[in-house]
Chain A
Amino acid sequence: ETGVTQSPTHLIKTRGQQVTLRCSSQSGHNTVSWYQQALGQGPQFIFQYYREEENGRGNFPPRFSGLQFPNYSSELNVNALELDDSALYLCASRPGGLNNEQFFGPGTRLTVL
């Protein structure tokens, strides 16, 4: 059974640029969530997708957007990057519809210069 994978591992961008981060969910999991973790803080919920539909969103501006594909893999897109967007971006998957634990990928470290 393959776990959650994310790509790329590290990324450096400059202010104003756009970035796309990718996540492959664990087999059998139809719900994917994205989190932003700044240094020294806990992860902050960005949004969640269930069967290709966004069904939850945290306190993030519209320049943070996402997609989920029929195979339940997912993308996080961030437009007009700002310095404060520098963080570890975590993707998690779980079987949908139930209150159960989420399984996390290793994360993508984004640095905005």
Chain B
Amino acid sequence: DQQVKQNSPSLSVQEGRISILNCDYTNSMFDYFLWYKKYPAEGPTFLISISSIKDKNEDGRFTVFLNKSAKHLSLHIVPSQPGDSAVYFCAASAADSNYQLIWGAGTKLIIKP
């Protein structure tokens, strides 16, 4: 039972355009959501997070949107840069499970020059 789903295994975007990565979840107890970026041969690096009491959080070029009724979140990267090419993971946690992270399968983002 996959509680966190990233349905797009890969996404290709032109440099300078907007990249939109999507994530769906099923567990209504999740109250904190995070996006991580992973390069080959490295551990995941934290990008941005959002609490379930918010519907938007912005940090520079990165914005995360949360739609609780749809159990959907998205990560927007504007403008996309070549260094953004990586695998992006969505993860969720709940207070009643000691904040263990439940991860999606990842989306490989490719930024084309």
Q: Among the interface residues A33, A40, A48, A99, which one has the most CB atoms of the partner chain B within 10 A? A: A99
Q: How large is the interface on B (under 10, 10 to 19, 20 to 34, 35 or more residues)?
A: 20 to 34
Could you tell me which residues of chain A, from 87 to 112, have a CB within 8 Å of some CB in chain B?
A: 90, 92, 99-107
Q: Name B44's closest neighbour in chain A (CB-CB).
A: A104
Q: Does B97 contact A (CB under 8 A)?
A: yes
Q: What residues make up the interface of B, taking CB atoms closer than 8 Å to A? A: 4, 6, 31-32, 34, 36, 41-46, 49, 51, 89, 91, 93, 95, 97-106
With both beta carbons as reference points, the residue of chain B lying nearest to A103 in the complex is identified as: B46
**5 CB-based A-B contacts, threshold 8 Å:** A99-B51, A101-B34, A101-B46, A104-B44, A106-B41
* Other-chain residue from A48, A92, A103, A107 in contact with B98 (beta carbon distance below 8 A): A48
- Min Cβ gap B10→A in Å is 11
Interface residues of A (CB under 8 A from B): 4, 33, 35, 40-45, 48, 50, 55-56, 58, 90, 92, 99-107
A40 CA to B28 CA in the complex, in Å? 26
Tell me, rounded to whole Å, the shortest Cβ–Cβ distance linking B113 to chain A.
26
Contact of A45 with B102 in the complex, beta carbons under 8 Å: yes
Known A-B contacts A42-B104, A44-B103; the reply to A99 vs B43 at CB < 8 A is no
